[in-house]
Structure 1
Amino acid sequence: MKSRIYLDHAATTPARPQAIAALAAAAAVVGNPSSVHSGGRTANGIVETARDRIAAWAGCRADAIIFTSGGTEALALALNTPQRVLAGATEHSAVLAARPDAALVPVDADGVIDLAALAALLAAGPALVAVQHANNETGVVQPIAEVAALVAAAGSRLLVDAVQSAGKLPLPHADFVAISAHKLGGVPGTGALIARDPAGLTPVQRGGGQERGHRGGTPNLPGIAAFAAAIDSPADWNRVAVLRETLEARLAATIHGAGAPRLPNISNIALPGVAAATQVMRLDLAGIMVSAGAACSSGKVHASHVLAAMGLGDAAGEAIRVSLGPDTLGSDIDAFAAAWLAMAGARDRHAA
């Protein structure tokens, strides 16, 4: 069987060994965290210890952490408000689908939010402003400090989607920050909303009043334990950044968003004339797993709304996302570069 090279870490990254161990240990605990007997108290102790560890890592109060099923639910919880919403035009679909009524703030050709346009929209009155810390398709890092200053001056609130940036960059200061375990070496099905003032939240998922009334349903005890364990193993992102730079130099291709600060592990690579879905399939046949845009559309490949918002027109459907992880090797980069260059060469021969 052909060896498989995984270069889709922005979609999900493999669970770290210590996270898997914590998952298994917590799964063996018999008790609902809401039960008052000894088994329930043991389970609740695991949840609260994890909350304390994640809060210390995030630099916030423990009661600011609200566990959710992932980043999507965390964003939906913060967005479940009658308040007017402003959102960057390149926000994740989890934001745009949760609030289709949001006024979109334009971005420049690199995908960086237009601060003047944001200020103009804020002048119309208070709003909840949703801005990604770093884009999931291009890795472009937004000027969150400047955004936060504008939002605060307007008497508004800021929601930051830090699902991609958490663990790679310090978490920003905001009214709400969304994070997800499986992007950090935890397991899917667990995330958190960090809320500066949780009292004003309106639950999306109602039930038995768990998470201090902010999120109903029995907590995902194994996933939460794995989440806390995963953050104890920081990655060497400087090494990953060197690999990413090597990859881009080898290809000599157009890299979308390259003119802005980016995360160390994401490259959005253009190959004009070849549909993104075709590129993904050809690379998969070569044993290399990448994606086209976000991996949140039930396996479908569409032209990227992120690249479209950056003004790329038809080219928005002719790019792939390559995302590296802590365990990516130089040999993985070599294999990808060879396969991509072969694909580009086949396109050129066909065009000739």
Structure 2
Amino acid sequence: MIYLDYQATTPLAPEAREAILRWLDGPGGEGFGNPHSAHRMGRMAKAAIDLARDQVAALLPPGGRVIFTGGATEAINLAIRGSGKGGSVSVSAIEHAAVLDTAADLGRAHHLNVAKTGQCNVDQDLPADIRLVCVMQVNNEIGTIQPTVDWHRKAKAANALYLCDAVQAYGKIEVTGADMIAISAHKFHGPKGIGALWVRNGVDLSEVQTGGGQEHGLRSGTLSPALIAGMGAAAAVAKERMAADAAHVDVLWDRARELFGDWDLNGSADARWHGNLNIRRKGLDVNRLMSECRTVMFSAGSACASGSGRPSHVLKAIGLTDKQAKSSIRLGFGRYTTIDEIEEAAAIINEAAGRQ
């Protein structure tokens, strides 16, 4: 099988797997201690978490703290719900459902438009009662890179906080300019079930779930040394390989663009993470295509919305019709993808599409 769905999840890095296994050891090992216990095994587990916290923070701006969560969805909920109850929350039209649905649940959501390229430009008015702005750094469906530094400045000028969903950016490009940043380990070759919220020093949050007061009193619950160590190891590898990974992805992008030259590109070709190729073909039946290309793992949209039958809200936001949105596919590739896999996958997909 050929895996081209890196936006949904990424293969586990060998270094992350090794770190995870070390802290899963049961009888005969010393890695299964509770990191909140005061005895030796607890202190060992806590030391592993402290190391991982530093490894994760090394790819984030200085002057903040890392709060471990069960994933980016939990991190986003903590940021949006924990940062206040009153005031409006401005969200871009192409945010992940974790942002859109949480803001909507609070009843004070204000939507920001995006251009046909998929960029959310800063020349838009914010509500007078704005308290939080949410604009993601790299879109999960079309890979568009947003002007996050400008949005952070605009939020500050309005005396509001700025939350950046950096799930698709972390470990790939520099993450800058925010008051809060949400990330998820399995998007940068770490394990599933662990993420983090970076919070700038001086930003006060309220807990959204009560319990034992772990994680600075903001996220109660026993931390998993294994998952956190795996996340830390993945972050360390990403930091070391960021330039090499980006260069590799650019090569894959160029070849994929050649092989799918007669398809239309969704979103910007330039202001984009090149590990995301979202393309469409007129009249394409994507369900049939996926059925006939079972050896190639790709997506008809974001993994969170697949199977809903609804056209992608991201593709609709950039001006595509329902038919165009439903005739689009997303190919995602990265560190462990080869040129041979891109070429083989393109041959399979193009042949199946041609039969339609």
Deviations 1:300-327 (A, max 9, x none): 4531110011110121121111000201
Segment drifting more, 184-193 vs 300-309: 300-309
Counterparts of 1:198-277 in structure 2 under 5 Å? 200-234=204-238, 235=241, 236-252=245-261, 253-277=263-287
Match of 2:325 in 1: 316
Quick one: structure 1 residues 228 and 270, their matched pair in 2 at CA, closer, same or farther if it must change by over 3 Å? same
Aligned to 1:105: 112
Deviations 1:9-39 (A, max 9, x none): 1111111111000000011213211111222
**Residues of 1 paired with 2:193 and 2:59: CA distance?**
20
Report the counterpart of residue 177 of structure 2 in structure 1: 173
- Alignment of 1:121 onto 2:126: yes
Structure 1 match to 2:79: 78
Asked if residue 27 in structure 1 is aligned to residue 24 in structure 2, the reply is yes
Return the TM-score normalized by structure 2: 0.90
Distance 1:137 1:334, change over 3 A: same
SS of residue in 2 equivalent to 1:322 = strand
Secondary structure of the corresponding residue to residue 94 of structure 1: helix
- Quick check: 2:248–2:334 contact (8 Å CA) kept in 1? no
Query: Which residue type is aligned with residue 337 of structure 1?
Result: A
Please name the residue that 1:69 is paired with: 70
DSSP-derived class of the 2:264 partner: coil
Question: Are the aligned partners of 1:12 and 1:183 in contact in 2 as well (CA < 8 Å)?
Answer: yes
Distance in 2 separating the partners of 1:191 and 1:343: 38
**Cα pair 2:300 2:306 within 8 Å, conserved:** no
1:283 to 271, 293, 297: 293
AA of the residue aligned to 1:275? D
For 1:141, the equivalent position in structure 2 comes to 145
**2:121 touches 2:147 (CA, 8 Å); kept in 1?**
no
| 1:134 counterpart letter in structure 2 | V
Alignment of 1:340 with 2:340, yes or no, is: no
Task: State the alpha-carbon separation in 2 of the partners of residues 332 and 210 from structure 1.
Answer: 44
Name the SS for the 1:97 alignment partner: helix
Aligned to 2:253, what secondary structure does the other structure show? helix
Name the SS for the 2:183 alignment partner: strand
Using the TM superposition, give the Cα deviation of residue 194 of structure 1 relative to its aligned residue in structure 2, in angstroms. Answer: 0.3
> Retained in 2: the 8 A contact 1:129–1:157?
yes
1:257/1:199 Cα in 2 relative to 1: closer, same or farther (>3 Å)?
closer
Deviation string 1:209-242 (CA, Å, 9 cap, x unpaired) is: 1101110111121110001111222342111112
Distance across 2 between alignment mates of 1:283 and 1:146:
41
Q: Quote the residue 2:55 is aligned against.
A: 53
Check the 8 A contact 1:277/1:301 in 2, yes or no: no
| Contact 2:149–2:178 (8 Å) recurs in 1 | no
Evaluate the alpha carbon distance shift between residue 115 and residue 278 of structure 1 in structure 2; reply closer, same or farther with a 3 A threshold.
farther
2:20 alignment partner AA: L
User: Per-residue displacement from partner, 1:262-288 (whole Å, max 9, x unpaired)?
Assistant: 00200001022123333333222xx10
Conserved in 2, the CA contact under 8 Å of 1:176 and 1:193?
yes
**Secondary structure class of the residue paired with 1:233:** helix
Mapped to 1, the partners of 2:265 and 2:303 lie a distance apart of: 19
1:296 aligns with 2:301: no
- Unaligned 5+ segments in structure 2 are 26-30
- Work out the CA distance in 2 between the residues paired with 1:59 and 1:176: 10
Compare the two structures and name the one with the higher helix fraction. 1
Distance (Å, rounded) in 1 between the aligned partners of 2:205 and 2:214? 14
Distance, in Å, in 2 between the alignment partners of 1:279 and 1:197 is 49
Separation of aligned partners in 1, 2:158 and 2:51: 37
Quote the residue 1:8 is aligned against.
5
Task: Specify the code of the residue in structure 2 equivalent to 1:168.
Answer: K
Kindly state the Cα deviation for residue 260 of structure 1 after the two structures are TM-superposed.
4.5
**1:40 is aligned with what amino acid?**
G
Partner amino acid, structure 1, of 2:246: W
Tell me, in whole angstroms, the C-alpha distance in 2 between the residues paired with 1:221 and 1:302: 39
Q: TM-score, normalised by structure 1?
A: 0.91
In structure 2, how many angstroms separate the alpha carbons of the residues matched to 1:108 and 1:13?
29
Displacement of 1:258 after TM fit? 2.8
CA contact 1:292–1:301 (8 Å) conserved in 2: no
Find the aligned partners of 2:210 and 2:291 in 1 and give their Cα distance.
41
Give the aligned partner of residue 157 of structure 1: 161
The residue number in structure 1 matching 2:336 is 327
1:350 is aligned to none
